[in-house]
Amino acid sequence: MEYYIKADRFLLESEEKIGGYLLVENGRFGNFVNKVPVCAVVEDWTGYTVAPGLFDTHIHGIKNYDVMDGTVKAVQEISAILPELGVTRFLPTTLTSSKHDLQKAILAVKEGIDKGLPGAKSEGIFLEGPYFTNKHKGAQNPAFFRNPSYEEFTEWQQLADGMIVKVALAPERPGSIDFIEKVSKENVFISIAHTDASYECCRNAIKAGATIFVHLFNGMSGLHHRKPGAVGAALLNNQTYTEIICDGFHVHPHMANLAFQIKEEKLVLITDCMRAGLMPDGDYSLGDFQVKMNNNIARTVTGSLAGSTLTLIDGVKNFYKWSRKGLHIVWHLASLSPANSIGKGNQLGSISPGKLADYVVIDENFEVQMTAITGEIIYKRLNI
């Protein structure tokens, strides 16, 4: 299948283009041109912007579904909802829980992928836990915290048929460095999270193979001028990627700007969204905890933030407003940077010849008008 997209603006990998046409051929992007052949098929989006599909590498659930429900239906419903939010790729994300519940969730994701996801496509599973420590536990259940086990991970990876691509842990736990060295050699990306680790401990974890810091400033030892902590390690290492939640509650806008000034394209916008996303205020659950959402902020009964209810496109919109950077730059923090963080940037995350044709059409208010995955339109607003 071959067609051209016409639009007012295109967010290409290396620049913004005004006007023109973008070729889509056999599910991949072709060249950007100023004229099209006679009789060419054209998708006309005059008045709109075409951008790469968003990639949420850290999402637990949305619209009252959660990966930890442990059902194929939950995974498929999350997938089906995401394209209307401009998301074309995601990593279904687990929580610290019992071994039984984690296995159930892993198998549900695998089965959902095997049966075929109706919307956004999974690029693998993200295990957030259970190898964390108490001090910065957030909404993770400490009853199931334990030291990293390569044997346990191998068992889960076999259940997942190799689909686990990312694991988060606290590097101060005994056995972490050995675990990181082994697992990172298996094309699995190690993230540092829910940790009270020192700067030096984090540096050792990076040397062993850790490459990502999870939700910067949240769930980690803070920045101090004599003790840089996990935050300092995240900001001061130019090889690692750093996730950030730009909902205005988890991180102050000025601190998000500071993080970008330091990390630039290594900053990764995520949601950490849980089942209350797109839902009204009220009572929900996150793993084993009861959660109350008020004014779109989800908290446990003890007052800890419990994930977020952010959508990724709203995170982009927020950071675009806070940073006053070009939309081309900000957008790629939620598309190309996430793809790069798990080694998928050569296939996904930007509009470039040869890459998979995942794209979204937005208006001037960031409202998603249409979403396509590998060139196939899978969502279009009803009033279009």
Q: Which of 363, 329, 382 is nearest to 50 (CA)?
A: 363
Q: What is the DSSP string of 212-230?
A: EESSTTSSB----SS--HH
Two tokens, residue 71: 């059902």
Buried/exposed 343-375: b ≥16 CB within 10 Å, e otherwise = ebbeebbbbbeebbbbbbbbeeebebbbbbbbb
User: Is the dihedral angle over the CA atoms 22, 23, 29, 30 positive or is it negative?
Assistant: negative
Place of tokens 């098929």: 41
DSSP letters, 71-103, are: -HHHHHHHHHHGGGGTEEEEEEB--S--HHHHH
Decide: helix, strand or coil at residue 328.
helix
Contacts of 300 (CB under 8 A, 6+ apart): 139, 286, 289, 290, 291, 306
Place of tokens 């691509």: 165
Residue whose entry in the numeric block shows the structure tokens 């074309």: 88
> Distance between CA 85 and CA 148 in Å, rounded?
35
Among the listed residues 101, 196, 272, 358, the single catalytic one is 272
With CA atoms as reference, report the closest residue to 148 among 184, 123, 104, 122.
Answer: 184
User: Does residue 272 carry a catalytic annotation?
Assistant: yes
- Cα separation, 232 vs 223, whole angstroms: 6
List the catalytic residues: 272
